[in-house]
Amino acid sequence: GESVGLHLPTLSVQEGDNSIINCAYSNSASDYFIWYKQESGKGPQFIIDIRSNMDKRQGQRVTVLLNKTVKHLSLQIAATQPGDSAVYFCAESVSGGYQKVTFGTGTKLQVIP
């Protein structure tokens, strides 16, 4: 079946370094991808998204890269801060509005002060 998955369950990064969180997806029909951040005790929060007609999109300290050839998505966080410690989920969907969004299992990012 179709699935979205993450390579690593936990990632530890030194404060100030860059973080890279990876995600693989298998539904070739997916054309909309989203990264969410979930802090302890809170619901997931939108970080950044990208559509399949792009291969890179930048936000504030975050960059999402999409490689459709190998069905790979990554989230890069520049100058990682303690406040970035959270679980990060990638999600995929086929565009059409309130479409079903398929989430990965999540990667826990731990920032070492």
Partner 1 sequence: ETGVTQTPRHLVMGMTNKKSLKCEQHLGHNAMYWYKQSAKKPLELMFVYNFKEQTENNSVPSRFSPECPNSSHLFLHLHTLQPEDSALYLCASSQQETGELFFGEGSRLTVL
∠ Cα 87 3 65 (to 5°):
60
Looking at 1-113, list the stretches that DSSP marks H as alpha helix, in order from N- to C-terminal side: none
Whole-number minimum distance, CB 79 to partner 1, in Å? 25
Would you say 32 or 57 has its CB closer to partner 1? 32
Would you say 16 or 59 has its CB closer to partner 1? 59
Whole-number minimum distance, CB 30 to partner 1, in Å? 12
Are 38 and 44 in contact by the 8 Å Cβ rule? The answer is: yes
CA separation for the pair 16, 102 (Å, rounded)? 31
Whole-number minimum distance, CB 93 to partner 1, in Å? 7
- Binding residues for partner 1, rule: CB under 8 A, are 4, 32, 34, 36, 41-46, 49, 89, 93, 95-106
CA separation for the pair 26, 92 (Å, rounded)? 10
Would you say 98 or 113 has its CB closer to partner 1? 98
